Chains A and B, each alone.
Chain A
Amino acid sequence: MKFSVNWLREFVDLPKNLEEIAELLTRAGVETENIETRSANVEKVIVSQITASSRHPNADRLTVCEVDDGSGTKRQIVCGATNYKVGDKVPLALPGAKLPNGTEIRKSKLRGVESEGMLCSPIELGLGEDASGLLILSPDAKVCAPISDLFPADTILDVEITPNRGDLLSHFGLAREIAALTGKKLKSTPRDAKIPVRKTGVTIISTRECPFFSARKIDNVRVGPSPQWLREKIESVGIRSINNIVDISNFVMLELGQPSHAFDADSLKGGVNVRLARDGEKFLALDGKTYSLKPDNCVVADQERAVGIGGVMGGEETGVTDSTKNILLEAAYFLPASVRKTARELNLPSDASYRFERGVDPEMVLRASQRATELIQEIAGGTPAKEIQTAGKLPANPPDVSLTYEKCDRVVGVAIKPKTVDEILTGFGLMKTSAAKITKWKIPSYRRDLQRDIDLIEEVVRAHGADKIPGTDRSRFTPASIADRAHDLESAWRQRLAAAGLDEVRTSKLLPRERFAFSESAIELRNPLSEDHVALRPSILVGLLGVLDRNIRAGTERVAIFEIGRTFIPPTGKEERHLGILLWGNVASGPNWRSPQNRRLDLFDLKSALECVVPNLSVRPGKFPDLALPVDVFSGDRMIGFGGQLSVPKSTTPGPVFVVEVHADLLLIAEEMANKFREIEKFPAITRDIAMIVPEEVPHEKILRTVQEPREPLLESVELFDLFTEQIGAGRKSLAYRLTYRDRSRTLTNEEVTAAHAKIRERLRRDLRAELRE
């Protein structure tokens, strides 16, 4: 909320250096986000009056104005704004004026028409952000007067008020807080004149939503523009001037925090009551829009229709206009939760609802009504009714709160003298009602957020200063949890995959609707915000394909990426941690002088990456429809995922794309098996190679099985080290294996290795019809 320093100073003395007060407030949890000076201290800008206006002959968007600058001769000004009417008083920058934005005003021709100066908008004079049109001045402004006379220099504080502190949403409220924090006295408080009230004329049906309602008739008011001081006051904190009655209502809200509303009394049909809306009841609000109400919306109504949404906005049909003679001034207390709900449901936040939602001060309702009445009399004349008509009961004062100094010290962590605690709480308007070991505190009506001892302790921390509490070094030993082990495993995977040359990505868990490849469905949000974030990802691969697209478009030649993260499995949304890998493009990301031959990444690179993290990896033919070469992925005997080569018709990517997705949680247990020491081999091994030609369809796995089964006790390992199909005739392939023989307890003789090796060769020849090469 914006605060005028001039206005605050009417209630409390502020130091000259406003940074100081901003810092003080910020340290006490009332963050000052911005400090801005406001003044119209620009030379050669004066008040002028528009006396005539006509279309620019050569430009549709411009008008040619004739203005009175007090000199006796009319001045011709070309103007682009449309928000004025003839007779309005507006600021005129004379030739030679230098505006705050640096513009120098000169006599000039605009599209062939002479312009002897410029009419200014607020932003051009350094008065706020409004650039939508001319700054319309009050009719009481004197033509020819320097503009700076109309706008006394001020400073505007932009302060973030937390939702629990509705009591700070007014100049008086913030001044009260500053007084408490600085130990200064308030210069004035709103008068608590005995205001005559009478329980008559208005009725409340929805007493829960509106515990208290008041209305005061004021007859024979003169509705018109506000005087300059009033206009400047509300405009300085960002509220537009409408007319004197509405401006006064807003002024009182800004001053005291209590919203009020003025009805055109003659447009009301019969007595006013407060009730719940009928389902679907239509309501034309002051913003010009029609709202369809729900039965939990509280409305102010006359005998025929709703005339206001309680605590939110008045109605267009019963609002105050220039022709209004008699008004009815409403001031009420609406239930915060009800106003909040209604304002959100209708998507109609207002300055009033903002305050009611956060809770207004019940003790301020009638004082605000009285203050507004006095101002109306002063500015718009009129005769107020002797009494304020009321209905219902204002909420009772908040209950007392108990506090022990010992608890305060315990929570704060350092001892704070009881005297200091008392001073702080008293400063905030609390009253000690019991000085026993457990002290009791009476809470002021405007501090409903203070409900239990911890709330009082917070006040102590705020005022005492969090920076005065020294930090302590306190630890505790904690055993590792399942989450710790999962994290460590995940970290190890990330390191290994990165070391294997894959980049880690993190893609959105929220996906557009149409991209559900790799799963038949996905959990959708009930209230998505944009088409890009509609469903929870059932698979990681969708995101990885998006990353592939983006990077191919960016011109990369190699995409080797992985992601570890949560997926949401339909229909329940069960959360599983998955690892996804995608490979596309070249093995090396760029040309290199050591290995100018670059090959493309393929399925075996995918297996190699998986082997970094999956123990006992194997793949078997799978059935996945989106994949051209689908495989099921196994760790030992357990199927943990799927993968393969993306089917070309489903992809626009040039060149093959390889993907795999595994359920990482399934591997958590496997990984925990600790490695155990095995004695290092003492005796040398003997290696023998076998080169063979077999029919192309014989898989490596079958050859391996033939070598390994039945088991030769001396055979330690078998490695494939060569494979080619060139120059041996179609339908054949040549493979070469190295077999390692060893006995862990002695040195082998050549003869026994030869014997074992011969048996294996024979099996290959017999079972696979392999052509063995010598």
Chain B
Amino acid sequence: MTHPLEQLRDDALREIDCASDEQTLETARIKFLGKSGSISRWGEEMRTLGKDQKPIVGKLLNEVRNAVTAALESRAASFRSRMESEALGKIDISLPGTTHEIGALHPLTQMWQRSIEIFRRMGFALADGPDIEDEWHCFDALNTPPEHPARNEQDTFYLPDGRLLRTHTSTVQIRTMQAAPPPIRVIAPGAAYRRDELDATHSPQFHQIEGLYVDDNVSVADLKGALEFFMRELFGAETEVQFRPHYFPFTEPSLEIYVKSKALKGGEQWVEVAGSGIVHPGVFEAVNKTRGDNAYDPEKWTGYAFGLGMDRLAMILFDIPDIRLFAQNDLRFLRQFA
């Protein structure tokens, strides 16, 4: 025969199961488990039971109370979860996310940062030099004779006091070697200036990364290895790199660097990206003269140097058709590179 407690439990479970909302569920809870609920009352009645009955009924009471409590909680949870899904179901998840303004870095900065990061992994430290230079650092020390066309007022901006705006970042080569003996392994990002009319591909102010590595037995092979690695890191592993002999006064041999890559103009043509070469011994000799020593003995040390045009690299990498866009800073342009 069933104990009355068991009967109570079955009634309670049935009622809980039938509760249609939180309100009726609460009514059921009070009815059975409230202070004077029908199950709770059995606690009082325990006292009246005999010694032999007490443990049996006590155990049963516990079981019943647990079962009803669990059923109440589970039913309540299902109500809550129903409510929650009803509420959330109304949310239009296709609404746009909360916006907050994030600025964009200038594409030239991004170009510089990418390049510097690669060169740093290759063990280059940074070096720096002024934009306003003297003729000696810009030309004489770089093995450029006094009558060289580049030195002309037509090509170079001069200040009234005879100083000039550096026409290339190669001046930092000289400043670095004046300040420290070999070995040297540096890159120098910076602006340079030429007396060019502003048009789609020329700007009187442009941007470069200069590189210089002076050590024992630095060779054309080392130069090729370093710049091939750099170009592949920048343009992709499939990039082909070609070194074509050229002429610069401060390197000998001089090599222009061309790349062909799917990332550039569809990979159809060779694109010139840099000038480079083995440091001309005349450059070492000029540095030695001002150092007053023979630290850069051309018979003992050799070096390679290179110059990368950042504007040009950014233009070909980002498909930018006009160099003037860089200095115009139209936000609609800048935001494209955010």
Contact = CB atoms under 8 A, between A and B. Distances in A.
A422 interface: no
B32 interface: no
Which has the most chain B C-beta neighbours within 10 Å: A473, A503, A547, A556? Answer: A503
Contacts of B130: 575
A719 B312 CA distance: 50
A461 B204 contact: no
A504 B334 contact: yes
B96 interface: yes
A475 B152 CA distance: 38
Contact of A28 (B154, B158, B245, B335): B245
B198 interface: yes
B49 interface: no
A130 B131 CA distance: 43
Contacts of A482: 128
B222 interface: yes
Given A478-B124, A523-B159, A592 B204 contact: no
Interface string B149-166: 100111001111001010
Contacts of B105: 494, 498, 504
A500 B226 CA distance: 37
B89 to A, nearest CB: 20
B289 interface: no
B95 A505 contact: no
A255 to B, nearest CB: 24
Interface in B247-266: 247, 252-255
A436 interface: no
B160 A524 contact: yes
A337 B147 contact: yes
Given A458-B245, A458-B254, A341 B221 contact: no
Nearest to A31: B244
Contacts of A562: 103
Nearest to A495: B105
B285 to A, nearest CB: 11
B126 interface: yes
A491 B106 CA distance: 12
A504 B103 contact: yes
Contacts of A455: 252
Interface stretch (A147-155, A188-196, A409-417): A409-417
Contacts of B158: 525-527
B302 interface: yes
B100 interface: yes
The secondary structure that dominates the B interface is mixed
B186 interface: yes
Contacts of B95: 593
Interface stretch (A162-170, A625-633, A745-753): A162-170
A225 B128 CA distance: 61
B75 interface: no
B103 A527 contact: no
A528 B157 contact: yes
B245 A29 contact: yes
B60 to A, nearest CB: 46
B104 interface: yes
A530 B197 contact: yes
A550 B132 contact: no
Nearest to A564: B109
B126 A484 contact: yes
B116 interface: yes
A457 B221 CA distance: 13
B257 to A, nearest CB: 10
A689 to B, nearest CB: 28
A575 to B, nearest CB: 5
Interface string B310-334: 0000000000000000111111101
Nearest to B228: A471
Interface string A548-560: 0011001010111
Contacts of B122: 475
B96 A462 contact: no
Interface in B92-120: 95-96, 98-106, 108-109, 113, 116
A481 B128 CA distance: 10
B252 A458 contact: yes
B131 A568 contact: yes
B327 A506 contact: yes
Contact of B217 (A410, A476, A505, A566): A410
Contact of B109 (A347, A454, A494, A527): A494
Contacts of A499: 102-103
A551 B226 CA distance: 42
A498 B331 contact: no
B125 A481 contact: yes
A483 B225 contact: no
B123 interface: yes
Interface stretch (A92-100, A507-515, A702-710): A507-515
B219 A412 contact: yes
B322 to A, nearest CB: 15
A497 B330 CA distance: 18
Interface string A289-301: 0000000000000
B96 to A, nearest CB: 7
B221 A483 contact: no
B271 interface: no
Interface in A470-502: 470-484, 486-487, 491, 494, 497-502
B123 A475 contact: yes
Contact of B149 (A165, A340, A411, A484): A340
20 contacts: A29-B246, A344-B149, A412-B221, A454-B253, A458-B252, A466-B220, A469-B220, A469-B224, A471-B228, A475-B122, A481-B125, A484-B126, A486-B128, A501-B102, A501-B103, A507-B329, A536-B165, A558-B101, A573-B159, A573-B163
Shortest beta-carbon contacts, A-B, top 5: A413-B221, A413-B219, A29-B245, A501-B101, A471-B225
